[in-house]
Amino acid sequence: MSKLEVTDLTFSYENSPDLIFDHVSFSVDTDWKLGFIGRNGKGKTTFLNLLLGKYEYTGRIRCPEAFDYFPFRFPDRFRDLPLSEFMTEITDHVEDWRVMIELAKLNLSAELLYRPFRLLSNGEQTKLLLAVLFSRENLFLLIDEPTNHLDRASRDAVRDYLNSKKSFILVSHDRDLLDAVTDHMLVLNRETIEVRNGNFSTWWENKEKQDAFNLAENEKHLKEIGKLKAASRRMDSWADKNEGTKIGFDPIKEHDRFMDSRAYIGAKTKKAQSRVKSMEKRIDREIEEKEGLLKDIEKETPLELRPMHYHKDRLIFCRNFSLSYQGKAEPVINDLSFELMDGDRIALTGANGSGKSSLIKAILRRVPEFRTRYPEYLDTYLANAEESGTLDVGSGLIISYINQDTSHLHGPMDDFIKKGGLDEVIFKAVLRKLDFERGQFSKNLEELSEGQKKKVLIAASLVTPAQLYIWDEPLNYIDVFSRMQIEELLLRFRPTMLFVEHDVRFTEKIATKEIRAGSVNR
C-alpha cells in the first residue's frame, strides 16, 4: 500500500503576502477514496496543482504513484473534434478499447466518442472525460468538482460510477456525492489540515461534537482565567503594599518590630511576587490553550435577509406555456402550467437542456427593469424565442436575480457595487459573513476564484430588497459551509423563490414544491 506524504509544505503565490500553506504535514493512502473539502479560497485547487508540479514550493511532497487531473485542460479548438481524435493529446497512454469499457460502466454508447465534442451535453462531456481518466492504470487521480453544471440524472450517474472506483482525491461541495463515494476526508480547516476516516456526514457529525466540546472547554478556561487574574491582582497588590513597609516604622505603634525585620519583609514580598509571576505564566498557558480550542471552529455568522411583501397572493401564473427556438424542431418547454404564490419556494428541475434557464428568461423579459438593465442577457432570447400559451408576471414585481454565469464579472469590485446600486458597507459585510477575506476586496473580479465570484453574486442578491428571488444554479463552486449557511438563512426568513439547483440536499431542505421543466405540470 503506497502513500502520498506531505512534509512541512509551505506555499504562497508570487507577490502575495498571504501563505496558502504554512508548514503543513500529513499522509494519505493512495488506494483511498478521499474527499477533499474546505472554504472557498483555502487552497484546494492550489494543492492539486502543487501535486502536479505546477508551482514551486518549500517542503516535500512524495508519492510513488503518478497523478492525473480532471477536468482535462485542452484548447477550445479541440471541442469541434470528436474526443477520439484528441484524447491522446490531453493524457498519455490512453487506448480506445479501455475507454469503451469505462463508457459501458457509465451506460454510455461508444458512439459518443466519434461525435463532435461541442455538440454533447454537459453530462455527456463529463462522463466521457471521466471514462478517459479511469481508463489508465496505476494512477492517483485528482478530480476537481466533477458535478458542476450537471443535472440530477447526470450527477447520479457520476456518483454511481465514482462509487465503484478508488485511488482518487475528490474536490467537491456536493454533500450527497461526498457521502456516496468517499471513505476518508481531507479537510482544510481554518488553521489546520486534518485527515479523517469516513465520509462527509461522519466527519461533520464528529466535528459538531468536537466543536461543542471545545466550546464547553473554552468556557471553563475563561472562568479559570478570570479566577487566576483576580488572585494575581490581589497578590500583586498585597506584595506592593508589603514592600512599602520595609523602610520606616513607628516604634510606639510597632513596638514589636526591629530594624532586622526589613530582610524578613523583603523575603516575604519576593515570595509573593514569585507567586504572581507563576500565576501570570499559568494565565498565559490557559489563554494559549483556549485559543487552540477555537482556531478551527466554523463561526457561521448568521446572514440577514429582508424580503419585501407583494400586494397579491399570486406572483406568477403559467398556463399551457410552450417555448421553442427558431431553427429547433422540438420545443424546449411544452405545455407547462404552474402558479407561484406568495411564500412558495419552487425548485425548477429537469435535465440539462430542458428549458429551465429559458423559462427564467421568459419570466425576466416580462419585467421592464431587466429588459433595460440586462440587454446582453435577454437580447438573444428575444430575437430567437417563440412562445405560446400564458405566462403572466405580477405588475411591478421586484425581483432579485442570480445568473448561473460569472463570465460578466470583471473590473474592480467598487465598480460592480456602483453599477448594481448596492450599499457598499452592507454588501461587504455580507461577503465577510460568507468568509470572504478582506484582501479579496481590492482584487479585480476576474482574479477571484469561481466560488468567490458566486459569493459576490449571492451577496448582491441578498442585499437587494425584493419580492421574488430567482436564483439560477447559485451554489456551483460554493463551499459546503457557506451552503449550510445559506440554507439556514432561507429557512429562517422564508422568502418567495424560484430556483434552479442540482444540489440534492439543498433542494430537499429549501423547496416547498418542485416543477419539472420540459414537461406538463398541472
| Share above pLDDT 70 across residues of the chain, in percent, rounded to a whole number | 82
Q: Are residues 143 and 224 in the same domain?
A: no
Q: Are residues 22 and 137 in the same domain?
A: yes
Residue of 198, 210, 192, 207 whose CA lies nearest to 35: 198
Q: Are residues 285 and 320 in the same domain?
A: no
Q: Report the relative pairing of strands 497-500 and 345-349 from DSSP bridges.
A: parallel
Angle at 450 between CA 448 and CA 453, to 5 degrees: 60
Q: Are residues 326 and 283 in the same domain?
A: no
Q: Are residues 164 and 48 in the same domain?
A: yes
The model scores a pTM over 0.95: no
Domain boundary pick from 200, 222, 252: 200
Confidence of residue 404 (pLDDT cuts 50, 70, 90): confident
Angle at 25 between CA 24 and CA 30, to 5 degrees: 125
Q: Are 342 and 397 in contact (CB under 8 A)?
A: no
Q: Are residues 390 and 431 in the same domain?
A: yes
Cα-Cα-Cα-Cα torsion 153, 155, 157, 162, nearest 10 degrees, comes to -170
Q: How much is the average pLDDT of 415-429?
A: 91
Q: Are residues 289 and 336 in the same domain?
A: no
Q: Are residues 188 and 236 in the same domain?
A: no
Q: Are 87 and 132 in contact (CB under 8 A)?
A: yes
Q: Are residues 141 and 84 in the same domain?
A: yes
- Is the predicted pLDDT of residue 249 greater than 70, yes or no? no
What total of structural domains would you count in the chain? 3
**37 φ, ψ (degrees, to nearest 5):** -130, 165
Domain of 244?
A: 208-294
Which residues are paired to 348 by β-bridges?
Answer: 515
C-alpha cell at 478: 460554493
- Is the predicted pLDDT of residue 520 greater than 50, yes or no? no
Q: How much is the average pLDDT of 440-453?
A: 90
Lowest mean pLDDT among 150-154, 282-286, 346-350: 282-286
Confidence of residue 251 (pLDDT cuts 50, 70, 90): low
- Give the three-state DSSP class for 17: coil
Residue 53 lies in a domain: yes
- Which residue type occupies 334? N
Q: Encode pLDDT of 175-222 as tens digits.
A: 999 999 999 999 998 778 899 999 999 999 998 888 787 777 777 766
Q: Encode pLDDT of 451-479 as tens digits.
A: 899 999 999 999 999 999 999 999 988 99
Is 202 exposed, middle or buried (CB count within 10 Å of its CB: 0-12, 13-18, 19+)? middle
Residue 521 lies in a domain: no
Q: How much is the average pLDDT of 254-273?
A: 54
Q: Are residues 358 and 277 in the same domain?
A: no
Q: Are residues 37 and 83 in the same domain?
A: yes
Q: Encode pLDDT of 176-186 as tens digits.
A: 999 999 999 99
Lowest mean pLDDT among 150-154, 167-171, 302-306: 302-306
Residue 305 lies in a domain: no
